[in-house]
Structure 1
Amino acid sequence: MKTYYSSKNIFFVSLLWLIVFGIVSSFFIPENEKGESIPIGIPIFLSLIGGFLIWTLSDTKYRISDNNLKYYSGPIRGKIDIRQIRKIEHVKTVFVSAILKPALGSHGLMITYNKFDDIYISPKDKENFIAELLKINPNIQIV
């Protein structure tokens, strides 16, 4: 089993940490502008959002084990049968057409698998990552 951690786009990661610090700083506001205390539901909701962001920032990685590519990005988790991967395309932008994007980097890989499924990931060591996938499925088209 090999683990590859996500590369990180400094702007995107900084923005997420800024949101987390904004959420944390909001807990130091004891009341709103009318002098009323803030309902307990708001801090709970903000805590959940902050927790999900920290979880995503600290746990975005990809594992290759047996014939599966497993991806982890906070609460987003799943696996892909490597034998079903048809194409890997190098992408150098944050804006990609994939709906599923468990990545923190802007220079990543668009993986097309099954018939119409795709996913955007951004392992730090792309060359070794692709080489490991090709060992399992040498029919993958690299673009």
Structure 2
Amino acid sequence: MKENMTMIKKYPSKVSYGLLIFIFLVFYGPLIPNLINGDLSGKMIGLIGFLSLIFAFILHLFFGTHYTIENNKLKIKCGFFSYKPIKIDEIKEVSKTKNIISSPAPSFDRVEIKYGKFDEIIISPKDKLNFANDLAIINPNIKNNITE
């Protein structure tokens, strides 16, 4: 039953703050001894500025990630990047996963979507249950393994 073909729902991504703290410490941790010793040379300030730009880009990716269900398509946006829309009619299965492969999922609380012939993508919607249920409303053939 495809009565909700014009449904538009946007799901923000869940964000693992522990991962962000880890990245912050990797970026800035090695600089702490230099800062404690008062080494604020031009090179150090330039390095801090450069690392801050990269970290700001990472923050934008983390907090700019969302998933939109629109017109029988799942649209995935990760910061400045947009993925090719997935036809919801081609989705076969939605399941929780612990896979840490690189993906548009800034959290370790992830969902794997299998679609097409052999395709899959890992995402991390904040509200996994309603997200999976909304997909199943459009395509009742989806094997929905998200129960909580």
TM-score normalised by the chain length of structure 2: 0.71
- Displacement, 1:77? 1.8
CA distance in 2, matches of 1:108, 1:43: 32
1:5-44 Cα shifts (integer Å, max 9, x gaps): 1112231122234456x39x89x9654xxxxx54xx9678
Residue 126 of structure 1 aligns with an amino acid whose one-letter code is K
Q: Does the C-alpha gap of structure 1 residues 135 and 15 become closer, same or farther in structure 2, counting only changes over 3 Å?
A: same
2:86 is the alignment partner of 1:84: no
Contact in 2 for aligned 1:76/1:102 (Cα 8 Å) = no
Aligned 1:64-75 pairs, distance under 5 A: 64-75=69-80
- Displacement, 1:53? 0.6
Q: Flag structure 1 segments of 5+ consecutive residues without an equivalent.
A: 32-36
CA distance in 1, matches of 2:130, 2:108: 18
Contact in 2 for aligned 1:16/1:53 (Cα 8 Å) = no
Moved more, 48-57 or 60-69: 48-57
1:9 paired residue among 16, 29, 41:
16
Aligned 1:46-125 pairs, distance under 5 A: 46=51, 48-78=53-83, 79-91=85-97, 93=98, 95-96=99-100, 101-125=103-127
Please state whether the residue corresponding to 2:20 is helix, strand or coil: helix
Contact in 1 for aligned 2:133/2:144 (Cα 8 Å) = no
Residue 89 of structure 1 aligns with an amino acid whose one-letter code is S
Q: Flag structure 2 segments of 5+ consecutive residues without an equivalent.
A: 1-7
TM-score normalised by the chain length of structure 1: 0.73
Aligned length: 131
Percent identity over paired residues: 33
1:90-128 Cα shifts (integer Å, max 9, x gaps): 12x2x34x55x1112212210011111111111111111
CA distance in 2, matches of 1:68, 1:9: 26
- Output the aligned Cα RMSD: 2.9
